[in-house]
Chains A and B, each alone.
Chain A
Amino acid sequence: MRRPTVRTLLPTTTGLLLAASSILLLSGQALAHGGGLRAAAGSLSVPTWLFLLTGGGVVGASFLLASFVTDRAFIRAVHRWRRVASAPLDGVTTLTRLLSVIALAGVVAIGFLGPEEMFRNAAILTVWVGWWAGYVATVYLVGNSWPALNPWRALAEWLPSLDRKYPEEFGAWPSVVGLLVLVWLEVVSPLADDPRLLAWVVVGYSAVTLAGALVFGPESWFGRADPVARLFRYYGAVAPIQRGEDGLAVRPPGAALTDAGLADGRDEVAFVVAILWVTTYDGFVGTPFWADAANWLVGVGLPAVLLYPLAMLAGYGLFLGAYWLASGYSRKTAETYLTPEAIAKRFAPSLLPIAAGYHLAHFLGLFVSLSPALVAALSNPLSPPINPSVVVLPGWFGMLAVAFVLLGHLLAVWVAHASAYDVFPGRLQAVRSQYPFVVVMVLYTMTSLWIVSAPSATPPFV
């Protein structure tokens, strides 16, 4: 009897996958409305629940498809494949760091002195369009170049350091808190509209970061406590270009996520979950559901100032709890002796492609449409053109965004599958270990598709 192999299964699986994605893309057609991710729920060509169910169904189906790939040698070959090129990086790094320190000084100066309109201010456009939308995308699509650019690290290494010992028990927790605080600040303040405020926040972040590096040394600070450096390190693990001991290596996207030790400890798992949560939170506070809930909560006496921090913490607790619950159940379904913590650490990196997919879906449109404004503002920072040109996105851009979300999930399912094969000696055991994670992932997909398909509302009380 002919045994099914990867090659004979491939046409079948691609066919089914295409069918599944076409369902999602067709049902997501309404999202193309206005070129943005959000569309009026009423304009969906199918009921919202069916749209959400289809998204969940695609993720579930992709897990079933991944479970067909049972050839250990094949999975290893895919993930161990790498090409190495040695590049003289150290000399270049000095130059790139020098340039990014100049850029940092420029952002602060233009933030304080440039025009006050957001679409004309080079500091706002550089930070949000150039850096947060464009540069971050290169980190997970190409490779983590942040260590070569990080202007704060460059400054910290030029300055003296007290080299106090970084407290081990702090671990990655300062970076978790830092990430939550930065995103909370972005949501409740006009950080993307007000150049003066942005400049103050950059100054504040610089002061905290340089003080931390001064006390504990740049190596410990940027390796453990700094949220931005850690975020880029994790996003960079999704990318095809990886820096190893022997130089730069090219690997298949996501392959580095299957390496053991990327999330080493409860604190680092907490950071990975925080990346996923802040992406969701950012979208969630823009839904009408949140506007109603916030009004009701304030109506029953909750101080408005506590609203956003509490929502941030409650949702984060929910996400973290769901992930740890899944890890606990995974120990049962896989019938393994591994602790839930060992499982949680091993599979946390597989969440990163999902976060990357959402980031690209959210920000590629922003980057493309505002790039001309960025170029115009940079060419004459102090008096940019009054009406900078903006690219109008074509209608199919919304479908592209749905496709990115989907691709992130598919890569996540595949990474988890490959990691499970690495961890568990039994292949059925490996597949069974994924049941609880698939349930959580399907629920997460439906939640986030619900958020992106909800009509846009202004967050109240900010």
Chain B
Amino acid sequence: MSEITPAYDTDVPPDESPVECPYCERPLESAELLVLHEGIEHWERLDDDRREEFRETYQDESDDLRTFRLKMLGLLVVVYFAFLFVYSIYTNDPLSAATLVGFGADALG
């Protein structure tokens, strides 16, 4: 949790009102992202309330991520079986198909 943040060039569209980090002046896109940014980059300078807020926001984000990961896993499985299907058409080498199914069973089982 370093205190030194590399300064990034930012460009805020004129019709938006960003929240700004009080420690490094980086404009953030939402109040939640500001809480996360402060917790990650300026942990030492936060009071207990703000730290608690960070923990809750991070936890909420983790819940969102779980849903996201499930979608990604679904996509991965679809891609995998699409390839398996295409390979079953185009390859007449039974060994490779068997290997793939074997790996798939290991991976998903």
Contacts and interface: CB of A to CB of B under 8 A. Distances in A.
A341 B9 contact: yes
Given A57-B79, A427-B61, A339 B87 contact: no
A57 B83 CA distance: 9
Nearest to B92: A45
A348 to B, nearest CB: 14
Interface stretch (A59-67, A95-103, A135-143): A59-67
A429 interface: yes
Contacts of B80: 16, 19-20, 61
A372 interface: no
- Classify chain A: how many residues form its interface, as a range: 35 or more
Nearest to B18: A337
B37 interface: yes
A337 B10 contact: yes
A452 to B, nearest CB: 20
Contact of B12 (A15, A337, A425, A427): A337
Given A60-B79, A70-B65, A425-B28, A15 B106 contact: yes
Contacts, number: 108
A64 B90 contact: no
Contact of A426 (B61, B69, B79, B99): B61
Contacts of A57: 79, 83
A47 B68 CA distance: 34
Task: Give the most central of A3, A54, A426, A427: most B CB within 10 Å.
Answer: A426
Nearest to B109: A15
A429 B72 contact: no
A382 interface: no
A143 B62 CA distance: 37
B47 interface: no
Contacts of B18: 337
Interface in A389-441: 423, 425-429, 431
Given A3-B66, A64-B75, A425-B33, A46 B91 contact: yes
Contacts of A22: 96, 99-100, 103
A260 B34 CA distance: 21
Contacts of B6: 260-261
For the complex of A and B, the 9 pairs showing the least CB-CB separation, nearest first, are A15-B107, A19-B103, A425-B37, A260-B6, A425-B36, A337-B10, A342-B9, A26-B96, A342-B8
8 contacts: A16-B80, A16-B107, A50-B90, A54-B83, A60-B79, A64-B75, A70-B62, A339-B8
